[in-house]
Amino acid sequence: MENNFIVGKIYEARAMCDHDCIYKATVLKKTAKTVTIKTMGETVRRKIHVNAEGEQYFYPHGIYSMSPIMRA
């Protein structure tokens, strides 16, 4: 079964350093390689990555050492 992002769905991820901090992102648009999301009042486009098991994920705030990861 292939895991894909769904337009209109809200995805969540916890912060690595604070269990009570939850990041949320709503998928507005999706292409084969990108998702357009609304997070923290901002609309941004992010690249979709695929892991070895074929699961999709993206970094809602960009890639940095402790960035949250949203998985389909």
Asked whether 72 and 3 are in contact (CB, 8 A), the reply is: yes
pLDDT at site 2 = 60
Entry pTM: 0.88
pLDDT of 71 over the 70 cut: yes
**Chain segment 4-63, per-residue pLDDT in tens:** 999 999 999 999 889 999 999 999 999 999 999 999 999 999 999 999 999 999 999 999
pLDDT at site 3 = 77
